[in-house]
Amino acid sequence: MQDQPILVIGATGKTGARVAAKLEAKGVAVRRGSRSSATPFDWEAPETWAPALSGVRAAYITYFPDLAFPGAVEKLESLVETAKDAGLGHLVLLSGRGEHHARLGEEVVRSSGVDFTIVRAAWFAQNFSEGYLSDPILAGVLPMPGGEIAEPIIDIDDIADVAVAALTEEGHRGKLYEVTGPRLMTFADMARELSAALGRPIRHIPISFEDFHANIAQSGGTFVADVFTAIARETLDGRNAHVTDGVMQALGRPPRDFADFAKAAARAGAWSSAA
């Protein structure tokens, strides 16, 4: 079994790319699952699932753009059945903190009959450096809804480290790791840390959920904006305003602080005009 590869679904995404790279750095054979990979995997093409799952011992599962997307939970259910038929021994699911549909997806994996680990993650720090908020940061603003709601934002590298540990080490099966950063931060707090890291002002602009929707729709289209706005309305209400020790449980170390993320991203040129 140890000679068989691990399938990383969403291997071109924010977490998937990191999980695949970290597994390969450990000398683990990886099958990258994406629409453009050698063995393609496409959530919209179920005929690609069985070939991608064939001959692998475990899989890291992410659903793009989110488990709240219409039809995502049903597709996950079908994927899990395909994984069982393929004889997979372990599923590691990336889930979203405080999201109703993500919890439904978790239950699909829990009740699958396959060994599992669930990584339930807080808001990604890299949304500011690699996502739809990178351009506003480059322009010196952080437009976000939610008012003074605080979020224990997490560095994606911590998520990837937890997933890799779950996929390669003993003791993680059947576990739920709810992973957050080490402290609660408002978006105004995040803007201050970004300002310090970049050496120039980043101004938090409180906006309505309607404006948030309009901003996302400009780059991602109305359907994607509908989903992300629904998630923002659901989760930016205070329900996630507490830290957890999931990273410490899984890795034996504390999570990285947002300030360290911001400094590292700035040094790497995440917000340079050429990025």
Domains of the chain: which residue ranges? 6-123+154-180+242-256
- Check residue 221 and give its pLDDT: 85
Residue 273 has a pLDDT of 72
Tell me the CATH architecture of domain 6-123+154-180+242-256.
Answer: 3-Layer(aba) Sandwich (3.40)
Q: How far apart are CA 260 and CA 246, in angstroms?
A: 19
* Structure token digits, residue 39: 């063995």
Tell me how far apart the alpha carbons of residues 173 and 105 are, in angstroms, rounded to a whole number: 17
Tokens standing for residue 121: 């993650």
Model pLDDT for residues 42-96, shown as the tens digit of each residue = 999 999 999 999 999 999 999 988 898 889 999 999 999 999 999 999 999 999 9
Residue ranges for the chain with pLDDT beneath 50: 274
> pLDDT value at position 1?
59
User: Which pLDDT value is given to residue 38?
Assistant: 94
DSSP 253: S
Looking at residue 219, its pLDDT comes to 77
What's the rounded Cα separation, in Å, for the pair 94 and 163?
Answer: 8
